[in-house]
Amino acid sequence: MSEIRLAPGVTVANAALTFSTARSSGPGGQNVNKTESKVELRLRITAIVGLSWRAQDRLVMLAGSRLTADGDLIMTCDETRSQRTNREMVIERLSELVRDAQAVPKPRKRTKPGRGSIERRLRDKAAVSDKKRERRPDDH
């Protein structure tokens, strides 16, 4: 059974990938009316081997609307006139998505505003206040 390497240490069995084709829109002239160059890839996320559970959670988040309620990931490509090229491109997109999911986001460090920025904010606030005070009519 052959496997496709999606990222370092992450693979998916060829049998887990389901490809379907359809007629594509876009360039190709009259040829698009008779050839099926659009490629759709369907894959269960659980079929991806070597992905940590955290990376799997990030993959679900990154997949967004491409994920069905059943847990199937659906990706399509119809950029070129060649079915083979579109098939390779959709696998590359899947691989890119998996690599993005593997990247651990850097935790945000909370910082305090600097003294200069606090002083600028207060100075600007005072200037706006003065401007509005000057607009008011004198009712003495």
Complete domains list, the chain, with CATH? 3-102 (3.30.160.20)
Q: Tell me: pLDDT of 28 over 80.
A: no
Cβ neighbours around 61 below 10 Å, total = 10
Contact 24, 78 (CB under 8 A): yes
- What is the DSSP annotation of 52-91? -HHHHHHHHHHHGGGB-TTSEEEEEE-SSS-HHHHHHHHH
Q: Tell me: pLDDT of 37 over 90.
A: no
pLDDT at 100: 93
Cα–Cα distance, 83 to 120 (Å, whole number): 59
Strand blocks (E) in the chain: 3-7, 10-13, 18-22, 38-44, 48-49, 72-77
The residue count of the chain comes to: 140
Q: Which of 92, 70, 90 is nearest to 21 (CA)?
A: 90
Q: Are strands 10-13 and 48-49 parallel, antiparallel or unpaired?
A: antiparallel
pLDDT at 22: 86
Q: Give bridge partners of residue 41 from the DSSP assignment.
A: 19, 75
Report pLDDT digits (tens) over 74-129: 999 988 888 899 999 999 999 999 999 999 989 999 999 999 999 999 999 999 99
Instruction: State the average pLDDT for the chain.
Output: 88
More confident residue, 31 or 116: 116
pLDDT at 131: 95
Task: Output phi, psi for 49, to 5 deg.
Answer: -100, 135
